[in-house]
Amino acid sequence: MHLRPLSALSPVLRRSATAAVAAAAATAALAVPARADAPPAYVALGDSMASGPLVPDITGPLACGRSTRNYAHLLAARFSAAPFTDVTCSGADTGDLVNPQHLSLAGVDAGTAPAQFDALSASTTLVTLTIGGNDAGLVGVAQKCVQLNPFAAPCKDAYTAGGVDQVSQRVQAFGPELATSLETLHARAPHARVVVTGYGLYIKAGGCWPTQPWLAPDADYLQAKVNELNGVIAAQAAAHGAEYVDLVAPSAGHDACQSASRRWVEGLVPGNWAAPLHPNANGEAAYARIIGDVIADV
């Protein structure tokens, strides 16, 4: 069949053909991710390790404990993100990625926060995610393991009674939840680079009782559960199109046993402005540097 050039068509057909070409070009443009050197359209997702509770200054819902000095804000500044949306929130678990999160402050109802995935779109080009600590209930375990009596039985014994590690069961059960979350994330933001972080080094081997009130066996058990959770996160990230960033190894020498000026995470009684058992401003800045270097290494 011989096809006539566009110039040989009637004006009506020529206009129709031109419009069809333009529409096809626009559709193709939407399907192409933003250039690697363009400022990212960045959405930050996650829990309190990402939100930075009690690290000045506060932004967003008070109950979310979202700081203007959390790692997401620092990354946004480093990469000149435009737009930048931070929906990280204290207490968030995988359920709060797709459903509104019920908020409370000191036990008082504080309303709800929108589902975090509502911030995603086809135009999103960068996503960071820190999630899992609340799914596994690690902060609650750490609080229950506080021990001021050096002769007491380690709380590890109760959590592993009968040869069944209750905390490990929760950690492993989180894996499929994260897998589903990552698949949903990709569907909501199909052109986004997804960077998933682990959790850092909270307490050194053997602990530092009584400076941080966990007996040595419990200090090791608690960090081992953090490391186990990190392993689950890394495996699911690799299996579901995301990049994993380890924060344990770079945190050596910056755990809660260190001086207030050296630590990146706080212990039971904070020595810096930060929530107990959470990163301080130095920690959020360090995490931003570590994560940012991964993002920049393309």
> For all residues of the chain together, what is the average pLDDT?
90
CA distance 121 to 107: 34
Whose structure tokens read 């359209």?
41
Report the interhelical angle of 281-296 vs 71-78 (nearest 10°).
40
Torsion of CA 285, 291, 292, 298, to 10 degrees: 170
Distance CA 267, CA 121 (A): 37
Q: What is the pLDDT of residue 241?
A: 98
pLDDT tier at 37, thresholds 50, 70, 90? confident
CA 73 to chain centre: 13
Domain ranges of the chain: 35-296
For residue 157, give Cα distances in angstroms to 76, 169, 205, 225, 229: 44, 15, 18, 14, 20
Q: For residue range 63-91, what is the model confidence (pLDDT) as tens digits?
A: 999 999 999 999 999 999 999 999 999 99
Q: SS3 of 109, please?
A: strand
33 pLDDT above the threshold of 90 = no
Q: For residues 180-201, give the mean pLDDT.
A: 98
Tens of pLDDT, residue by residue over 229-261, are 999 999 999 999 999 999 999 999 999 999 999
Q: What is the pLDDT of residues 207-226, one digit of tens each?
A: 999 999 999 999 999 999 99
DSSP character string of 37-48: TSPP-EEEEESH
Percent of the chain with pLDDT over 70: 88
Top-tier CATH class for 35-296:
alpha beta
